[in-house]
Structures are given as structure tokens and as C-alpha cells.
Structure 1
Amino acid sequence: MSPRARISDVARLAGVAPSTVSAVLNDVHGARVKESTRDRVRRAADELGYAPNALARGLRTRRSGTLALISDVIATTPYAGQLIQGAQDAAWEAGHVLMVVNTGGDAAIERRAMAVLRQQQVGGVLWATMSHRVVPAPVPPNGTPLVLLDARDEAGAVPSVVPDEEAGARAAVAELASHGHRRIGFVLDRNDSPASEGRTAGYRDALAERGLPVEDALVARAQSDSTGGEAAAGVLLDRPDPPTAIFAFTDQMAVGVYRAAAARGLRIPADLSVVGFDDLAVLAQELRPGLSSVALPHYAMGETAAATLLRLVEDPAAEVPALQRVPTRIVRRASVGPAPRA
């Protein structure tokens, strides 16, 4: 291994004083350094693999240059990669490192994590959950800035970043309605949560806006997995007047809709159209036909939450939105077709 580059090495390569290197790489406010010189210093630092000593800088400024992302089980779910990547990219762009702690929902580990973060002088904490829900507000160490990610606190007192559930459901219904479907069913999680409430509201609003029937009989609730989706879809498809399209609360429930359709000799999309929610590539792309699905904006959510947290790190009194809803988008595949004739 080559010896670690020092600030004097960067200064020598860039042809400037070490103090200039320090001012540029530490973004010293008010430092009068030409942009051409700044570029030369950054190129020299990149060439030598030099980075400012975050610990030493933290001792001077009482800031560690580190943010933390604490989650219950998100780091072990298919959603985690993009969520963490978005937060990490925003942190890195601002000169911070992101530390990820997965607690597995264990309260003892959560307490231990907070104690460690206190010792590390972490500048801010992102608290993330596996799915959009209401949580008791965690207490970060020493009043450290806190932002909730894919969650809201009971009192609404902590800044939160969540997906726009209602808009996503409206987009799903709009996709089905645009293909001529008039009776659109909804297989829904049996548990109440911000996600189920938001998607239900979006589903009902989209139907009402188009003058389509809004019937409780077109909504079936079950466990939010493929088994539950199959059972709920079966209830809808066995009606005397079954829907010609089904919106599924999750892609996993959509897998069950496919099974229920196949068991009844129905072809997708010739006899039944389906739209899911989540856009889990491992499911949506592998189903035959491919599943159209509303994609959750995991990267943008992580990026937005980290940017909000960084504002609070720089200025604890900064005004930030109490709740930010990040737009979703629909990913079209082959599971939606024209409504079949009666």
C-alpha cells in the first residue's frame, strides 16, 4: 500500500499553500480562492486519493461529518438499496458520510445504537421503516436533528418523508380506466396503515372522478402477501358481476391475483387486467405477462430525507416541511389490456 497522502502533498502537487488546500477541501466560508485554483486543488486531491481528516475537523467544529440512517429491518429488504443509495449520495455530495445501522426492530439494539451515535458525535439521524407507517417518535442523542423516512410520528412533530400513496393509487386506476375498464376491483391489506389509507383514498377518488362505480363489494381485504392476494382476488372474481381489472395493494398480492385468475381459466390481460404497487423487479419483471406496477420512489425518498436532514444540521432552526410526499410513477408492462366485451 502507498503511504497515505498528506495535505502538504496535495499543496505541492497543486502549487499552493497548505492553508489554501485546507480552505478548499473543508469549504471554509469566506475563503477567497479563485475557482481555477479550487479546481486545481480538487484534481490534486483526487489524484493522490486525499480526503480531509473528518475526525480532526469534527474536533474543531464539533461536527463529525457523519450522518446516521437507523432502520428496523429495511437494510434486509429488497427496497433498501435505492433508499440507502439516495441518502448516501445526498450526504456525500454535502461532504458527509452515511452510517447505516439495522436494528431488526429490537429496542435494546436501538438504545445501544443511540448510545454509540452519541459517542461518535453524529450530526443528524434518519429514522427509516420497512413500510410507510406511524411510529413513536424516537429520541436522538443530545437533541441531534432527526428526520423520519417512510414513516410519520404520532404527533406529526418530526419532519417526515413518505411516498405519495394517494397519487400512486390514482395513477393505477387511471391506467386501467384508460383501457376501457369500468369495474375495477381492489385487493387491499387487511391492516390499517398510512399506506393502506392513502391507496384506498386514491383508488376511490380516481373512480369517482371518472364516474365509475365506487362499491365496497369491489374491495377485498386480506393478508398482504401472495396467499392473501389469491384469497382476496378469489372473492372478487367469484362475484356474479366480477371486475374486469384489479388493482393490487402490493406486487406480492398481485402474484396471488395471477394465481386466482389462472385457477378460474382467466387470461391476463385478455380476460383480466392487473396493476400492482411497489414495482419489485424480482416479481414484476419475472411474472408472465410482466406486471404493470406503481414504482415507489425509494432513491428520491432517501435523497430528499438526507437533504432535509442536512438543512437541519447546518441550521437547527431552519424551517423544513413537516411532511414531504415524494411522487410515484407507473411502470407499464404487459398485464393491462382493453376491457373484455361482456
Structure 2
Amino acid sequence: MNKSVGIKDVAAAAGVSVTTVSHVLNDVVYARVGAETRERVHEAARRLGYGPNRLAQALRTQRSGMIGFISEEIATTPHAGRIILGAEETARARGYRIMIINSTSTSSQDSRESDVADLLDRQVDGILYATMYHRKLAVPKNLIGLPAVLVDSEDISHTVSSVIPDEIAGARSAVQTLIDAGHTRIGMLNNTDDVPATHSRLKAFKDTLAGAGLPYHEELVQSEPSEVPGGHQAALRLLKTPNRPTAIFCYNDRMAMGAYRAAGELGLRIPDDISIVGFDNQQLIAENIYPALTTVALPHYEMGAWATENLIDAIEGKTDLQLFAAHPTLLPCPLVLRDSVASPRHQDASSRAAPDSPTRPNT
């Protein structure tokens, strides 16, 4: 066998795509590939010496002990790196190692398929595909039919198993914490991006208010890009309104940080004058702003561990990943209580009016 030959070489020699080669050599039953094309692919593989031990199908019985990990920006950002840690520690405990390829959320479908092909060329036993934030995606076609798990993302075709955070339950716990503290007029700073979290966290906000018998006021939801400047601008609009809210639920910790800044500029003290809750538990923010931020933790480590554990079970024939493919597995988002929530001191409308002049900042 010529060990320098890869799946891309076979595709070029046969005059077909990498996906077609993967489907033919892995005997993907639903692949629409004609008999002539199949024979051309097999002939090219034989001629180039692309042996069976380089195929994902054969890897199920001739395991390399390596797991491929395609990271959409996770490896180069601080936000979701614990996904990798959870995967690595779980893999090591099971006698496997992780091989990482870093990609981006804007990569083309061809680029993603090329990443999968590169990992197959290195004889990985299975593939984890992780995104930096919860979103739905069209998986690389040559990932279908392989032992694979999506992490923090959902396959729009429901053919590849996935694990995601329970956004709705996490957001409900955040809003319920404010209600339990005695707040009845609660605002929300939401994201403007069309991603699952934007819609699920807003739904949870509305449902939790309704469950407590509290009205939903559309003017108390302000949306901006989910970064510190966006949170600052949205919070200023919210806090300058007559009969302002006594508490704010923020889409994420970065927006909460912007809300802290806005409150300080308006002379409001946290949590005496305004309570704030975030989402994500980004430790560089939540633990280090003053007062420390009550927030909801995304289960990054747990998602990486769950995906790896179940992927290895599938590689070793102990489970069928297709049992999980129809619906993503939800992992809990625990509430992390810190110092940014207190009972409202004043409930009358005049005391909740926006301040006329700033005093001292909170941060």
C-alpha cells in the first residue's frame, strides 16, 4: 500500500468529488452513485494503492486510537475551550487521543469536507465536530455514515448525532431567580443574530414571566449585537425609560458587562438599584466584574465529555449513534449564584424612574 496516497488523490484520479469517494469506499447505502462511477473509484483506489485500512469503514475494526476533532474557532477563542478539555480528558481516560483541525464558522462546505477527508487520511476512528456557539448547520457530506458527533450544534438533516445546551431551561432559571428575589418588572437585553439561543432565551423569558403571572412588556426587551457595546446601548435605552425595570436578564455575560457600564453611568448601584443576570458564565467576565455576576453556565466541558464518551462507545460497538440522531441531546445549564441580584428596594413607579444625573460607576 502506498501510504502517501490520500482520499483526495483517489478523487482526482477518478474525476469525482472527495464526497463521492467517501460514499463509495464506505458503502453508504443511500448515496446516489452510479455503477460506472463506483467502479471508476474502486479502480483508482486499487491503482494508487489506497488500501482498505485507510477507510473509515475498516477503521471500525482496525482502530488507530485517534479521534478527529474539527473545531470551528473553539481552539483559538477563550469562550468555549472547555469543550476541547472535556473531549481530551474523556478520550485519554478511554485510551484514545485527540487530533484537532481548527476551522471557522464561515468556511465553505468544500473546505469542511476537505477537513473531514484530511482526518480520514490520518486514520482517525471517529470525528467530533464542534462549533463555538449553538447553531444549526449542514454537516459536511462525507461526515455522514461515519462515527461522528456534533458538539454545540444541530444537524439540519438529523442524520448525525449532536449534543447541545438546554438553553430554555437555563434561561428560565435565570429569570426565575429574579422573580424569586421579588422583582415584578424585569427587562431583557437580547441578541440580534438569528441563532437558536436568541429565540430560545427570549421564549424562556416570556414563558417564565407568564408562569409567575407577570405581564410581558415588549418595550422592556432591547436587542443589540451580543457584545459589550451592544449591551451598553441596549441597557441605556432600557434604564432611561420612565418606570424602568428593577432587574435585567442579559443574553450573555458580555451584554451584562455593558449593562454594568450603563448602570454606572446613570448612577445606579448593582444590586441595590438594579439586579442583573447574565448567561454563559465566561469566567474572565463573571468572576471579575464588581459585583460578581450571577449567571447561567453553558456545559462546555460536559458537552465535550458526553460527545467523546458516546463516540468511543460507537467506535467500540457498544452503542448506535443513530439512536441519538433524530433529536439533539440536551445537557443542563446550571445557575451560578454570585452577588448581582438582590430584592428591589423600591416598588413605586417614581423610584423606578430613570435617574437625571450619574454618580459613581459600578465597575
TM-score range for the pair, normalised by the shorter chain length: 0.7 to 0.9
| Superposed displacement of residue 114, structure 1 | 2.1
Q: Distance in 1 between matches of 2:59 and 2:211?
A: 58
Among 146, 154, 164, the residue aligned to 1:162: 164
Q: Are 1:212 and 2:211 an aligned pair?
A: no
Deviation at 1:90, TM superposition (A): 1.9
Q: Is the 8 A contact 1:64 1:120 kept in 2?
A: no
Q: Which amino acid aligns with 1:329?
A: P
Q: How far, CA to CA, are the matches of 2:254 and 2:146 in structure 1?
A: 37
Q: Secondary structure at the match of 2:188?
A: strand
Structure 1 partner of 2:178: 176
Q: Which of 263, 281, 284 is equivalent to 1:282?
A: 284
Select which of 343, 349, 354 maps to 1:338: 343
Contact 1:146 1:159 in 2 (8 A): yes
Instruction: Output the CA distance in 2 between the equivalents of 1:211 and 1:312.
Output: 46
How far is 1:82 from its partner? 1.5
Distance 2:154 2:245 in 1: 34
CA RMSD between the two structures: 2.0
Q: 5+ unaligned residues in a row in structure 2: which ranges?
A: 1-53, 349-363
Indicate if the aligned counterparts of 2:59 and 2:124 stay in contact, CA closer than 8 A. Answer: no
Deviates more, 1:104-113 or 1:236-245: 104-113
Letter in 2 for 1:230: H
The secondary structure found in structure 1 opposite 2:160 is: coil
Partner of 1:101: 101
2:194 aligned to which of 188, 192, 215: 192
Q: Deviations over 1:206-259 (max 9, x none)?
A: 111111121211111111101110111122112212110001001000011011
Per-residue deviation, 1:318: 5.0
**Contact kept? 2:136, 2:153, Cα under 8 Å:** yes
1:256 to 252, 258, 262: 258
Q: Once structures 1 and 2 are overlaid, which stretch shifts more, 168-177 or 116-125?
A: 116-125
In 2, are the aligned partners of 1:125 and 1:140 still within 8 Å (CA)?
Answer: no
Please say if residues 183 and 243 of structure 1, whose CA atoms lie closer than 8 Å, have aligned partners that are also in contact.
Answer: yes
The aligned amino acid for 2:244 is P
Aligned pair count reads 286
Q: What is the CA–CA distance in structure 1 between the aligned matches of 2:65 and 2:79, rounded to whole Å? A: 26
Aligned to 1:327: 332
**Aligned partners of 1:135 and 1:152 also within 8 Å:** yes
CA distance in 1, matches of 2:67, 2:172: 35
Q: Tell whether the 8 Å contact from 1:71 to 1:128 is kept in structure 2 after alignment.
A: yes
Quote the Cα distance in structure 1 between the aligned partners of 2:321 and 2:180.
44
Q: Return the TM-score normalized by structure 1.
A: 0.79
- The whole-number CA distance in structure 1 between the counterparts of 2:70 and 2:260 is 36
> Unaligned stretches of 5+ in structure 1?
1-54
Matched, 1:86 2:86: yes
1:278 is paired with a residue whose SS is coil
Partners of 1:59 and 1:259 in 2: how far apart?
54
Residues 129-140 of structure 1 mapped to structure 2, 5 A cutoff: 129-140=131-142
* Alpha carbons 1:147, 1:158 under 8 Å: kept: yes
2:301 matches 1:299:
yes
1:317: how far off? 4.3
Distance 2:187 2:298 in 1: 21
Aligned-partner Cα distance in 1 for 2:287–2:268 = 20
After superposition, the C-alpha distances for 1:241-287 in whole angstroms (9 at most, x for unaligned) are 21100010010000110111111111111100000011111111111
> What is the aligned partner in structure 1 of residue 124 from structure 2?
122
Structure 1 residues 141 and 121: CA distance shift in structure 2, 3 A? farther
Match of 1:245 in 2: 247
Q: 1:196: Cα distance to partner?
A: 1.1
Say if 2:135 and 2:154, in contact at 8 Å, map to a contact too: yes
Cα offset for 1:104? Answer: 3.0
TM-score, scaled to structure 2: 0.74
- 8 A Cα contact 2:147 2:321, kept in partner: no
Contact map agreement 2:191 2:226 (CA 8 A) in 1: yes
Q: What corresponds to 1:143 in structure 2?
A: 145
Tell me by how many angstroms 1:62 deviates.
1.9
CA gap of 1:101–1:313, structure 2 versus 1, over 3 A, is: same
The one-letter code matched in structure 2 to 1:327 is: P
Contact persistence 2:161–2:321 (CA under 8 A): no
Per the TM alignment, residue 142 of structure 1 is displaced from its structure 2 partner at its CA by: 8.1
Residue of structure 2 equivalent to 1:35: none
- Give the corresponding residue for 1:272: 274
Larger mean CA deviation between 113-122 and 130-139 belongs to 113-122
- 1:198 to partner: Cα distance: 1.4
1:308 and 1:320 in contact (8 A); partners too: no
Q: Which residue of 2 aligns with 1:235?
A: 237
Deviation at 1:171? 0.8
